[in-house]
Amino acid sequence: METLVFKSPAKINLFLEVLRKREDGYHEICSLMQTVDLCDELLLQRRKEGVVIRTDDPECPANETNLAFKAAQLILEEAKIKEGVSIHIKKIIPIAAGLGGGSSNAATTLKGINQLFELNLSDQKLHFLSSQIGSDIPFFLSSGQALVRGRGEIIEPITIYRDYWLVLARPEVKVSTQWAYQNLKINLTKVKNEVNLKVLENPNVFFEALPHFENDLEEVVSVKYPIIRRIKDILENSGAVKSSMSGSGPTVYGVFERKPKAEEVARKLRRGDWSPASGGQVFVTQPIPNSI
């Protein structure tokens, strides 16, 4: 094989709990994550040597700082492959939006190179490599639904209901993940809502549980960026079962049971004055299994 093309999906955090700061500087988290059908496209092609990144988005780094570059370099070195690879990234997922686009690209690159060079590395080996690159990357090697713990490397695949629709609204603000975690005041006495995740495959239970899920980073980020609270209000007042920030933001999502309602609310957001005219983006998407 000389060339392969892959879809690289975004994710949302149905909840995100930040438990404590670890001795290694990372934060201990517990998060329920779900992949959605908002996808980048990666074209991987064998070359004589070296790793080359090409992208159609000027904001996406085409150098060694790109997580896909790091993933390619790591797996080729691990497998002692002297050939190289070029990676063309067609960006659809907004950059630095709390949707995991860069991490997804890295995970897709690992699996893609494993197939492209017929390395036959095990899932466990790919997981080990992914955890060396970034915190969210191991999740994107899972089935697309998982409870994620540790700093993001402990993955517990689960099965939950996914026949619903999402409106994603990304305002034109930049949120530093590092800043969000550094400014979070961890409430060690906070009582967490205990939900039996094993019963979330039932739609009634799923929709009843959703409003109780929280993102611990949302409060600190929305204080600095009030537009996040404003978008949440629009979504909730428009009938969303739940509205929340994804990851460290700034993307906010609303959950809707039916596609026509989601599309109606998306049109309302696009017509509004919250920020699309100045560069914000609105997407209608739905949960999918991760097929890479």
Q: Where are the alpha helices (DSSP H) in 79-122?
A: 101-116
Phi, psi of 16 (to 5 degrees): -145, 110
11 is catalytic: yes
Handedness of CA 237, 166, 153, 250 (dihedral sign): negative
Distance between CA atoms of residues 277 and 165, nearest Å: 24
21 is catalytic: no
Which residue has 């970034």 as its token pair? 134
Helix (H, G, I), strand (E, B) or coil at 55: strand
Q: Given the residues 11, 70, 232, 242, select the one marked as catalytic.
A: 11
Sheet holding 252-256, edge to edge: 242-245, 252-256, 165-170, 281-285
Structure tokens given for 204? 């009634």
Cβ-contact 8, 291 below 8 angstroms: no
Q: Given the residues 40, 70, 111, 136, select the one marked as catalytic.
A: 136
Residue numbers annotated as active site: 11, 136
